[in-house]
Structure 1
Amino acid sequence: MSFQPVLPLSGYTGWRFLSQTLERQTAVFAASGEVAMNSTYFRDTIAKIQTPEDLLADRRLLSVALGAFGLQDDLNAKAFIKRVLVEGTDDKTAFANKLSDKRYAALANAFGFGNEGGARTADAGFADTILARYTAESFELAVGEQDNTMRLALNLSGGISDVMQHATSDSAQWFAMMGDSPLRSVFETALGFPTGFGQIDIDQQKQQFMARAKATFGVESFADFTDPAVQEKLIRLFMLRSEMNNSSLNSPASVALKLLGG
């Protein structure tokens, strides 16, 4: 039987509890149920996989590989994933590099099939790296079944790391954040953008994100969000605004936002 995350409280108070118990809860989760069985199979098998076709032919391995990057919904999109893996990321014109969602580039780069040097599946530490991501993503999914705002908050740090790894300029990093739906949801909610904001010109969106982030958090560039203290402020505001959006204007969250000048 799989361990289910313990979330006794909602909102920012619930987030603080989850943060303080995350390491212990994740360890118990990783050792239970389907996650444990899939992890064992992946660790025992992945070194034998040398081509995209090999990976695509093993649905269980593929589910772990995609799940590690939050792409589990693409399990049946084999032609799409094959192109991502075959073309790799070395060439700037590669398919994964053209996609706004940089999780695909992270997947292609991690497995290395289409890059110089080829498959990295037999490299020392490869299985550990992928399984760490798979466990974290699977735990986030389990949390999301109870509280999706908690899931989005858990994804924030890893999402920002991926952006920083695959986008070099400040402008590209903002665009990459905007192209990552879970990450964008946290920023958009925390910064108080209205429904339909995503319909305006993409360059205007970026300028609005940058301006409001600077006014709210005092950041000068997207890289400032790698600071854990800034991330915690972002999550706090995200949680408060999420509560406000789902309750009356006189809710505790709304009062807190007013006190914060939100």
Structure 2
Amino acid sequence: MTTTMTSYQAVTRNLTQSLARTAAKPGVASDTAYFEKNIGKVKNLDDFMKDDRLYRYATEAFGLGDMAYAKALMRKVLEGGVSSPSSFANRMSDQRYRDFAAAFDFAAEKTETSYFEANISKVKTVTGFVADSAERMFDYAIEAFGLESVADTPQEKAAITAALHLGEETQLRFSDPKIDKAFRDFLKAFDFAGKNVNATSDKAMMQATVERHNAAERATQAKVTVEKYTRQRLERDEGASNENVRLALYFERKAPQIKDAYQVMADPALLKVVQTALGLPKEVGGIDIDKQAAIYSKRIDFKDFQDPAKLKTFLTRFAALADSAGGASASPVSLLFQPASAGVGQDVLASLQKLRLGGL
């Protein structure tokens, strides 16, 4: 019989190739093609949730497929976004909701678009454009034209500001043809040097900027979501033949985000891996939360999970002990997506919720 570590290494030895094979599977390819074709048509949250196939693909990508049916809840998660610490998503204990809301932050997008539309016609100079409150209009335009990669540092922004003063006469060029063309389009749209005070009075041009911004947002969402969906499907498919491989892949993906024992205890899948690797019985999950944290913290330096070599050693131990124990006790789907109470005691879950929600 093929061991967990052998199967895990077969997948991760060339992860890019493994993901490509998963992406090419008929069902995955069809769903992905639909998402990529239709996400660009989305203008707002209503559009997003109205297309059930699109919406469900996104929830699956962020590990929330089991909650896709709860549209009222998911709408509330997305409506508040993540800009405010008190938003609904930020107050939830499960990181997946925050990640989902951050990726599809229609609230912030609407706010920034409204600000741009209300104020751009008032801008009459390059200085006014760039020195706008927190550079909001300038940043919005940069995002719309896909120039974030060349306007990231103060020096890069200064170079673009100088180019705006010169307009199409600027000598600033970019080696990437796609970026350079976008930059030329940007200069044409905000041609203060040529049109002077009327540069931002062209309503059609400014509306085109808004539409470009929407398209840029959707392109980013498509890239991130498709990558996440493919990884989720890879893990799920591997789990169909060996659920411990799925656990190992899941742990590897989440490891860089693990900072302390409380994060482990709040996630049934992470907890299963840690308990197995440490040779601890699942009954440990029923003791006092702080005592549990002390046990895990004493035996694990969580910083080690940032080191690929040490993470591999940890997962090798997990794989060996998992195989010797005869496999995990729950099916992969129920383990990875069931409520946290399946992995920790009810009293522990309640305590974790208070910690995560500030006692609310």
> Same-fold call, TM > 0.5?
yes
Structure-2 change in CA distance of 1:82 and 1:246 (3 Å)? same
TM-score in terms of structure 2 length: 0.57
Deviation readout 1:154-191 (Å, 9 max, x if unpaired): 11232234x36xxxxx4xx4423322222222222212
Question: 1:184, 1:107 → 2: CA distance?
Answer: 22
Flag the structure with more relative contact order, 1 or 2, with Cα contacts below 8 A and sequence separation at least 6: 2
Aligned-CA RMSD value: 2.4
In structure 2, the partner of 1:140 is 235
Q: Secondary structure at the match of 2:241?
A: coil
Structure-2 change in CA distance of 1:150 and 1:212 (3 Å)? same
In structure 2, the partner of 1:232 is 312
In structure 1, the partner of 2:285 is 198
Question: 2:242, 2:23 → 1: CA distance?
Answer: 20
The code of the aligned residue for 1:131 comes to V
In structure 2, the partner of 1:186 is 273
Q: Secondary structure at the match of 1:125?
A: helix
- What stretches of structure 1 of length at least 5 have no aligned partner? 1-7, 165-169, 214-218, 248-262
Question: 1:235, 1:34 → 2: CA distance?
Answer: 30
In structure 2, the partner of 1:50 is 43
Question: 1:35, 1:234 → 2: CA distance?
Answer: 31
Question: 2:74, 2:7 → 1: CA distance?
Answer: 36
Cα displacement (A) at 1:147: 0.9
The structure in which a higher percent of residues are helix is 2
Question: 2:255, 2:214 → 1: CA distance?
Answer: 24
Q: 1:67 aligns with which of 60, 64, 73?
A: 60
Aligned residues: 225
- Choose 1 or 2 for highest CA Rg: 2
In structure 2, the partner of 1:82 is 75
In structure 2, the partner of 1:251 is none
Question: 1:211, 1:100 → 2: CA distance?
Answer: 24
Matches within 5 A, 1:1-262: 9-115=2-108, 117=112, 122-123=216-217, 124-161=219-256, 163=257, 170=259, 173-213=260-300, 219=301, 222-246=302-326
Cα displacement (A) at 1:117: 4.3
For the Cα contact (< 8 Å) 1:102–1:180, is it kept in 2? no
Cα displacement (A) at 1:140: 0.9
